[in-house]
């Protein structure tokens, strides 16, 4: 993503380009696309909000 955004100076454009990059890239990455295919959509949310995760920052 850093290489993709290199040269972008407008913050709004950077946000849009980062989102487009993710939409194009995530389906091609087996480990990341798995998050999108989980039947239980709360699994990731629970993992992202555990006490250890929140403490980590």
pLDDT average per 10 residues of sequence, the chain (57 residues)? 88 91 82 64 58 62
Q: What does DSSP assign to residue 26?
A: G
Distance CA 34, CA 27 (A): 9
Q: How far, in Å, CA of 26 to CA of 38, rounded?
A: 14
Q: What is the structure's pLDDT at 39?
A: 58
CB distance 9 to 17 below 8 Å: no
Distance CA 38, CA 45 (A): 12
Confirm if 26 and 34 have CB atoms less than 8 A apart: no
């Amino acid at each position: 993503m850093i290489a993709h955004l290199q040269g972008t100076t407008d913050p709004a454009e950077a946000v849009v380009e980062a989102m487009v990059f993710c939409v194009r890239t995530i389906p091609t990455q087996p480990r990341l696309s798995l998050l999108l295919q989980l039947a239980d959509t709360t699994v990731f949310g629970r993992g992202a909000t555990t006490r250890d995760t929140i403490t980590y920052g």
